[in-house]
Amino acid sequence: MTARPFQTARTWRPTRTSVIGLGLIAPLALLVLAFLVLPLFRFAYLSVDNRAIAQVLSLTSQAMRDHPVEGVPNDAVFAAFQQDLARDPEGVAKLAARLNFFEGGLNSLVRKTSAQMATIPPNRAGFTAFDKRWGEGKTWRAIGLATHPVIPEYYLNALDLRTDEPSRLLSIEPKPEGQRIYLRLWARTIMVALFVVSVCTLVGYPIAHFLSRSKGMVFTLAMGLVLLPFWTPLLARIASWKVLLESNGVINSLLVASGLVSEAGRPQLLNNLFATVLVMSYVLLPYAILPTYAVMKRVQPSLFSAALTLGATPVRAFFTVYLPQTLPGVLAGGILIFVLSFGFYLTPELVGGPSGSLIGNMIAYNFSRSLNWGLAGALSTMLLIVIAAAALLLRAVSPKPSARR
């Protein structure tokens, strides 16, 4: 028996074809890095960064470490806080906005105190005489949170949680019932996404089957109708649904004309969760049809006929022969729709109203209106985590290619 010679590792040597291929891919990679990867890292960074505010409160932070106390601090901390406000007037506005995020009403309190700082004695009695809120523990809890350079408060707030000390996980507790809004939005977003996936799958499956069995002009016409939404601006499609669903719209007018409802009993079809689900299902329906059609096209019809020949009923042949072969397309379309619907913003904004808004609307609100980029970054990061989990699920449930024999 002869021993096998040692096989040397093959080293990669660039060829002209590979160099040209890398040169063609490089611009795309740079675009992805500049306009996707770096902004995502920026959002994640903003969601925990608090160094600018902590720098404004540097003296207060040092005084709170030197004189630790529960609740309202002593005169040394009040004096240090007054010095911080006086030495950085430009940072007062940022500090006021950040403190207002931790505790409502502190924006106006800090601005008012800063404007009258020269008349306020630098001690506890002077501050509380100016405004009694300076003698409340919740005010100084917010200031204590703002002195940390890295804070998890935005992520906790995105889950309706709070903490008195960021470094102590055991101090995390739920917010009061009246302040919990984000868990309801997360639950509503997940529920809407799953419902839209179900509607699109149930409606899209028979359409995909019809396309896979159609030929000639019938197939061309049917496929054109499926692809037509891709050639129409999204805003125009949503606007057409507003015309259909409004109180004096086409659907309500037909219901009144047919006598099914009275003039005073027109149903509210717009600015609610029903309108959000309906329009989202319409917009995302092609994403359920096309992957399923692509898989159905490769299924041999003779397999279903063979099952019928062997004595299986049509229902049993469908569930045991046809459905398992088309399931990869159904799963691919379903997860794609779930990922897309989870980040929807424009459709709920235009037809959903307050009761039909989703987590994407809250992200847009924090970015453009309240300018709370930290919370918007935390919500965006959590949204990306959900999307990444859905992508991993897609990879896990996708059928593995069989080895060639």
**Burial of 352 (C-beta count, 10 Å sphere; 0-12/13-18/19+):** buried
Rounded CA separation 155/161 (Å): 8
Its pTM stands at: 0.80
At 45-59, the pLDDT tens digits run: 888 888 888 888 888
Radius of gyration of the chain from its Cα atoms, rounded to whole angstroms: 30
Which residues are CB-contacts of 57 (< 8 A; sequence separation ≥ 6)? 81, 84, 95, 143, 146, 147
What is the torsion angle, in degrees rounded to the nearest 10, for the CA atoms of residue 170, residue 172, residue 177 and residue 180?
Answer: -150
Mean pLDDT of the chain: 85
Q: Which two tokens stand for residue 170?
A: 């055991």
Q: What is the pLDDT of residue 400?
A: 57
What pLDDT sits at residue 404?
41
Percentage of residues in the chain having pLDDT higher than 90: 24
Q: Average pLDDT of 141-165?
A: 83
pLDDT band at 12 (very low <50, low <70, confident <90, very high): low
- For 207-221, how does the pLDDT look when each residue is reduced to its tens digit (9 = 90+)? 999 999 899 899 999
Nearest CA to 349 among 267, 279, 246?
Answer: 279
Return left, alpha or beta for 160; rule: phi > 0 is left, psi -120 to 50 is alpha, else beta: left
Q: Which residues contact 51 (CB under 8 A, 6 or more apart)?
A: 149, 150
User: pLDDT tens-digit profile of 257-295?
Assistant: 888 888 888 888 888 999 999 999 999 999 999 999 999
The number of C-alpha atoms within 13 Å of 344 and in the hemisphere containing its C-beta is 32
List pLDDT tens digits, range 343-389: 888 899 999 888 888 999 999 888 888 778 888 889 988 988 888 88
For the chain, how many residues are written? 405
Would you place residue 43 in the very low, low, confident or very high pLDDT band (cuts 50, 70, 90)?
A: confident
Q: For residue 335, name the pLDDT band (cuts at 50, 70, 90).
A: confident
Least confident piece of the model among 60-64, 133-137, 173-177? 173-177
- Paired sense of beta strands 161-162 and 173-174, if any: antiparallel
Question: Which residue from 154, 105, 193 is spatially nearest to 363, judged by alpha carbons?
Answer: 154
Q: What's the confidence (pLDDT) of residue 211?
A: 94
